Each structure stands twice: as structure tokens, then as C-alpha cells.
Amino acid sequence: MDHAIKEAAVSTTVTARASLPVRIAIAVIAAISVIVGVLGIVNLASVSNYNQATDSLNANIKASQQQDADFDKLQTQQQQTDAQFREAGAAGMLLLPNVRTSIEHNAEVSAKLTESIRKKIGEMQHADGTEADTVIEGGQSVTDGGQGNGGTLTDEQRQKVEELLAQNAQSAQSDSDDSGSAAKQDSNQTSSPAKPW
């Protein structure tokens, strides 16, 4: 009796196997599902990075158009934005075509903004250097802040320098005349004997 129960239990655990073509089809569908799932995850991550980078790019564009924009800070933010676009596009061919195209377009816009900010900073530094064309020690020397253009001066700057040099020469000559006449007076007073009256 126990033997019959054991045989019945063993016979119920045997399952029917699917045919070979059905098993191959199931394996192919499972592999495709895994690939589609991985591609979906990669694209979702890229779209998330793309959205963050695009928001940052839009904010940086607005900030760069303000008159009191801090371009040094903007340059740092733009470098981070460029890095976000690179990260978003890192999957390359795994991205859907419209996602890849959008990332490439906005990355190009971001790179142009970064270059524009870099040029603006260069212009500001050049302008600061030009403003540094100041007369030192009463006009005796002038520093050329125009190193950005190869050290050449514009006609207007050259004229200012010549005027300052002319003024310097005149003040130096009048100072030497004044000191020379004062020295003559001193020598006249000391060489002649002091008169009692």
C-alpha cells in the first residue's frame, strides 16, 4: 500500500517538457526582453542627465544675458553643464536616434555658450588691463595693458601716451629748473659772507 502511494507521488511530479523549437523561442524572447530593458534603462538615465543639463544650460543662458553677470561663476557652471551633456551622450549608439540628436544639439549650444563666456572673460581681462594704463610716480612711466593684442597700442592710446610723456617731460624740466635756481640761490647765500645789517 505504501509502495503504491510512493509510485503515485513520483508519477505526479513528472512534468511534460516543451519541444526544442519552443524552448529556443522562449530563450530568444527572454534575451530580447533583457536587451530592451537594458536599452530602456540606459536611455532613461541619459534623458534624465540631458534634462538636468538642459535646465542648467537655459539658466546659464539667462544669466549670461544680464548686465551684472558673473562670468567666472558662469564659466564654472558651464563646464559642469558640458560635462553633464558628455555624460548624457556617453552611451552613444545605444541611445534612441531622437534622444542622441537632442543631446548632440544641446551639447553644441552649450559648447558655444562656454566659448562665448571664455571670450567675454578674455575681453574683460583685456579691458581691465587697458584701464590699468595709469601714470605711475607723477607720469614718469606708463604700463601697457594691451598685451592681448600683441602689445600694440591703438592710435588713441598712443596719443594719450605721447601726451603723458610730454607732460612728464615738461614737469621734469620745470622741476629741474626750480631746483637749479634754488641751488643757485643757496650757493649765492652761502658763498657770500653774511652781512651784519
139 contacts: CB under 8 Å, gap ≥ 6: 164, 165, 167, 168, 171
User: How big is the chain by its Cα radius of gyration, in Å?
Assistant: 41
- Give me the pLDDT at residue 184, please: 47
- Give me the pLDDT at residue 105, please: 95
Of 91, 113, 131, which one is at a domain's C-terminal end?
131
Same-domain pairing of 90 and 168:
no
Q: Whats the size of the chain, residue-wise? A: 197
CA distance 86 to 69: 25
Same-domain pairing of 71 and 113:
yes
Same-domain pairing of 46 and 127:
yes
- Give me the pLDDT at residue 5, please: 58
CA distance 135 to 116: 33
**Per-position pLDDT tens, the chain of length 197:** 556 556 655 555 556 677 888 999 999 999 999 999 999 999 999 999 999 999 999 999 999 888 888 888 999 999 999 999 999 999 889 999 999 999 999 999 999 999 999 998 888 888 766 544 433 334 333 333 333 344 455 666 666 666 666 666 565 555 555 545 444 444 444 444 554 54
Same-domain pairing of 157 and 94:
no
Residue 52 lies in a domain: yes
Quick one: residue 152, left, alpha or beta (phi over 0 = left, psi -120 to 50 = alpha)? beta
- Give me the pLDDT at residue 155, please: 65
- Give me the pLDDT at residue 149, please: 40
9-28 burial: b if 16+ Cβ within 10 Å, else e: eeeeeeeeeeeeeeeeeeee
Give the residue from 96, 78, 100, 77 showing the smallest Cα distance to 88: 100
Q: Which residues pair with 115 in a beta bridge?
A: none
- Give me the pLDDT at residue 124, please: 83
Residue 16 lies in a domain: no
Same-domain pairing of 108 and 154:
no
Domain assignment of residue 77, given as a range: 37-131
110 burial type by CB count under 10 A (0-12 exposed, 13-18 middle, 19+ buried): buried
CA distance 115 to 96: 28
Whole-number Cα distances in Å, 191 to 55, 178, 179, 185 = 87, 20, 18, 10
Residue 156 lies in a domain: yes
CA distance 56 to 49: 11
119-137 burial: b if 16+ Cβ within 10 Å, else e: eeeeeeeeeeebeebebee
Same-domain pairing of 119 and 82:
yes
Same-domain pairing of 90 and 76:
yes
- Rounded to two decimals, the pTM is 0.52
